Structure formats: C-alpha cells, structure tokens
Amino acid sequence: MTDTTDVALPPLMAIRARIARAAGLAGRDAAAVNLIAISKTRDEAHIVPLIDQGQRLFGENRVQEAHAKWPALTERYRDVRLHLVGQLQSNKAEDAVRLFDAIHSLDRPSLLGALARAMDRTGRRVPLFVQINIGEEAQKGGCALAAVPALLAEARAADLPLAGLMAVPPAGVEAAPYFALLRKIAADNGLDGLSMGMSDDFETAVMLGATHIRVGSALFGPRGDQPSALPSP
C-alpha cells in the first residue's frame, strides 16, 4: 500500500455504499453496476491510492492524455481496465482500440469504418457504447436521437461489438427523465449496457438501471482544485 498518511483518502467506500443503497431501493444487484473512476486530469499520485483500495475500472476522456498516463500503470496493475468516455477522432481510433477496454463515444457513422479497421488490425474487439445527445442540445456531443436507429443498424452491419448506450443529460435540470429515455431506447434496440450517471446524479442513474456510472469529482475532488502531487515514496 502506498503511504497515504498525509492525504485524505478518496471516498471510494462512501460511493460504493451509496451505489449499494440506490441499487437496493430499486431491487437491483449492486454488483451489476460498474463504477468507472473518471481520472481525467488526475495523475498517478491521485490514481494509485484508489487502485490500492481496490478500484480497477477507470475512465479517461482524451486518447492522448490516457496514452501518456496509463501504459505505465497498467503494466504495474495488470487487472486495471480503462474506458474511453470522451469524443473520438477517426485518426485516433486505432490508438483507442489498443489502449481502451471499452469506448463510450461512438456518435457518428464516420467512426464505424475506422473502428472496424482498428479492431481487425489489432485483433481486439472493444465493446462500444453509442453516445446519444439525449437532451438534443446544440453544443453537446452524441448522436442525434433521430439518427440513432441508423447508426445502430450500421454498427451491426459492420459486425462491431455493441455494448449499450451512453449519455450526458443537460446540466442543471432533473436527470431522471433523460436516464429513463436512454433506458427505453436501449430496451427498444435490444441493448443491455447503460452508461449514465456522474458525480451529481449517479444514485438516480443506478435506480433507473445504469450498468456503468462515470464518477470523477466525487471520488477525486473538484477538478482544477486538486491537491498538489505527492512526492514519490
């Protein structure tokens, strides 16, 4: 275990307890909820204590940042898994397929060919979540609601491994209706995975069926207001 005596431990246990309570209220098995620790902008000094506490699933939103940060860590901690939760450019598809164990940001048909080629070349079949612009917001990433059936059909035609749907609801309003809508679209399309819920709303997401919740600041503290890096032990 890393010496963390001078550092407040990230509240992983508290988050796990809240997941268990929310799952229990909904009659769900908490083990069906995958907690993705979103470690974007955090460095090893923040990440390793979480690994030491048993967290094995992490998420990053930029391929380049993940590439700089994770290979050294996954070399040391072989059972750590990494998910991409940010926008993916076609020219980074192969890097992403090599680096990540799931991709939550398939949002347009033009990515399909790049991902299919990358999976062929690497021999890796990386589960994909189709990201939906669930609130139909102008600035927001994700596939438009009306374009979802066609994107899913094209992904299936290309024999890509579809894991489910992902969304980030509009900020500042109740997220539950958007989570419920995402769940309905997934059910209508025969998809099991639901990547939804972040620090402020993961309990609601768990109650509404999330299989993957993406939690950053509730685990690591607010971004841009992090403790300074720890000296090496």
Ligand X SMILES: *Cc1c(COP(=O)(O)O)cnc(C)c1O
Query: Closest Cα to residue 207, out of 22, 66, 64, 81?
Result: 22
> Looking at beta carbons only, is 172 or 231 nearer to ligand X?
172
- 86 touches ligand X (CB under 6 A): yes
Whole-number Å distance between alpha carbons of 185 and 132: 10
Single out the residue of 34, 55, 61, 204 in contact with ligand X (rule: CB under 6 A).
61
- 199 touches ligand X (CB under 6 A): yes
Single out the residue of 40, 62, 81, 140 in contact with ligand X (rule: CB under 6 A).
40
Binding mask 99-138 for ligand X (x = CB under 6 A): ----------------------------------------
Whole-number Å distance between alpha carbons of 16 and 207: 14
**In the complex, least distance from residue 147 CB atom to ligand X, rounded to whole angstroms:** 19
Which residues in the 154-193 window bind ligand X by CB under 6 A? 168
Give how many residues touch ligand X by CB under 6 A.
Answer: 13
**Which segment (64-72, 107-115, 147-155, 214-222) binds ligand X by CB under 6 A?**
214-222
Contact residues toward ligand X (CB under 6 A) are 38, 40, 61, 85-86, 168, 198-199, 214-218
